[in-house]
Amino acid sequence: MVHKLAQQGVSSPEVLRAMGLTQRHLFVDSALVNQAYEDTSLPIGFGQTISKPNVVARMCELLVHESSVPLGRVLEIGTGCGYQAAVLSCLATEVYSLERIRGLHERARVNLRALRLPHVHLIFADGMQGYAAGAPYAAIIAAAGGEALPQAWLDQLAVGGRLVAPMQTGPGVQALVVVDRTASGFTRSILEPVMFVPLKSGVV
């Protein structure tokens, strides 16, 4: 899988190492284990999916960009099965990951327990509010896309920090958006089209 990611253009050694260290088969249903290292998203229950390895690697590479690894505190919105949180744990000093579906939050807790990652904090909460207790963040990454970026995410991004998230950029079009916070404000770039599950408010 790592070899394929490199062929697809992922070049950051830190990201390739993190992808190599994180065993994706531990995060999917036993019936799907034989597909765990294919470049495809897979169902994780509750109508949600584990992101494609290529997309996880691409977003991590955007987060790392010119920063030195490990990044400081990172906020993830959408824990899902916990796979991306485990990848991020190889790249950051602390990972705060928010999930709005209790059943998935609990599943991620079970999946991550065996890996013993004390610097990964799983929180059952609506990620639209961010997580002020851990702010400011060196990086914020969302695994679900809405019509706009919640203000709380921008507020909780450190100066010098970077946010990467899917967002609706036109009717029926979702793209990756990168926001950098500088001393003088925010700069925003819109990158390639993507397909993420919707960002929803409230918890269930």
Q: Is 127 in the site for ligand SAH (CB under 6 A)?
A: yes
Count of residues of this chain found to bind ligand SAH when the rule CB under 6 A is applied: 25
Q: Are the beta carbons of 80 and 86 closer than 8 angstroms?
A: no
Q: 103 in helix, strand or coil?
A: helix
Of 112, 122, 118, 45, nearest in space to 83 by CA? 112
Annotated active-site residue 51? The verdict is yes
Q: Is 161 in the site for ligand SAH (CB under 6 A)?
A: no
Q: Is 63 in the site for ligand SAH (CB under 6 A)?
A: no
Shortest spacing between CB 83 and ligand SAH, in angstroms: 4
Q: Which of 41, 51, 89, 97 is catalytic?
A: 51
Shortest spacing between CB 65 and ligand SAH, in angstroms: 20
Q: 123 in helix, strand or coil?
A: strand
- CB count within 10 Å of CB 184 equals 7
94: β partners? 73
> Hunting for tokens 């400011």 — which residue is that?
136
> Hunting for tokens 């294919």 — which residue is that?
38
> Hunting for tokens 């955007």 — which residue is that?
62
Lay out the site mask for ligand SAH across 78-117 (x = CB under 6 A, - = otherwise).
x-xx-xx-------------xxxx--x-------------
91: β partners? none
Kindly tell me which residue out of 52, 109, 119, 200 binds ligand SAH, with binding defined by CB under 6 A: 200
Q: Is 143 in the site for ligand SAH (CB under 6 A)?
A: yes
Which residues are annotated as catalytic? 51
Interface residues with ligand SAH (CB under 6 A) are 44, 48-51, 77-78, 80-81, 83-84, 98-101, 104, 126-128, 143-144, 197, 199-201
